[in-house]
Amino acid sequence: MKRIGLLILIVLFLGTIRGFSQRCLSGQWGVELSGGWGDGYPLLKKKDLDYSLGLSFFRYAQNQNKWMIGIEYVEKTFCYKCNTIPLNQFLLSPGYSYNVLSNRIKNIFLNLTGGLLLGYESINWGQKNFCDGAILKNRNCFVGGGTLAIELETYLSNRFLVSLRAREKILFNSIKTFHFQYTVSFKFVIN
C-alpha cells in the first residue's frame, strides 16, 4: 500500500512540474520592439539627442540564426543659431542574424547581424528658410545602404527576450554617411 501511495505521489508531482518550451526552433517567429540612441553619447552631453524607434519581425532558421525585416524611425537634431533642425529618417531594414556564441541551455546568445537599409530622409520637414534669412540647400531624398551589428540577447521567460545591440549604419545619399547606434530591444516569440 505504501508503494502505491508513493507511486501516486510521484506521478502527481511529475504532472505538476512545468516544462520549459524549446527555444530557437527553426520556423518559430516573433516580434521585436526597439529603441535607442546614437552618434556618440548624447545622453551624457544633453544636446543633439539622436534617437531611434523600430518594429520588426523575425523568424528563426537553423542553428539559432534568424531572418528579420523591420521598419525604423530615426531623428537627429542639429542646432543652427535660433533653430533646431531635425533630420528624420524612415527606414526599411531586412537582415540576417548569425549566432556566434550561446550557452548550453540556450538562454544567452551573442549574434552578428547584417542587413540592408532603404528609406527616405527629411531635413527640417522640407522647410528651407530660417529666421535669419539663411536657406537650407540640402533636400529631402531617398537613402540606401547597409548595417553591421553585434547583439547580446537573453531569455527572460520562454517567450520573452531582451537584447542589447551596437551597430554601424552606412547610408549613402544622406547628410551623414556613417551612424553608430546603441539599441535596447524587447522581443516576444509568438509561435
Alpha helices in the chain (DSSP H): 2-16, 42-45
Q: Hey, which CATH number is domain 25-189, 1.10.10.10, 2.40.160.20, 2.70.98.10, 3.40.50.150?
A: 2.40.160.20
The model's confidence at residue 51, banded by pLDDT at 50, 70 and 90, is: confident
The residue-averaged pLDDT of 182-186 equals 93
Q: How confident is the model at residue 32 (pLDDT cuts 50, 70, 90)?
A: very high
* Under 8 Å between Cβ of 60 and 68: no
Say how far apart CA 89 and CA 143 lie, in whole Å.
9
Mean pLDDT of 3-7: 74
Q: What percent of the chain has pLDDT over 90?
A: 45
Residue of 33, 29, 28, 24 whose CA lies nearest to 186: 33
* pLDDT at residue 25 is higher than 80: yes
| 133-156 mean pLDDT | 86
Report, in angstroms and rounded to the nearest whole number, the Rg of the chain calculated over CA atoms: 23
Q: Could you state, in order of their start, the residue ranges of all structural domains in the chain?
A: 25-189
The pLDDT, as a whole number, for residue 22 is 73
pLDDT-derived band of residue 13, with 50, 70 and 90 as boundaries?
Answer: low
pLDDT digits (tens, 9 = 90+) for 73-100: 998 887 777 667 788 899 999 999 999 9
Q: Does residue 120 have a pLDDT over 90?
A: yes
Coil, strand, or helix at residue 65? coil
pLDDT grade for 14, boundaries at 50, 70 and 90: low
Nearest to 23 by CA among 113, 121, 102, 115: 102
How far is 174 from 41, CA to CA, in rounded Å? 21
Q: What is the pTM of this model?
A: 0.78
Round to whole Å and give the CA distance between 95 and 117: 9
pLDDT at 155 exceeding the cut of 70: yes
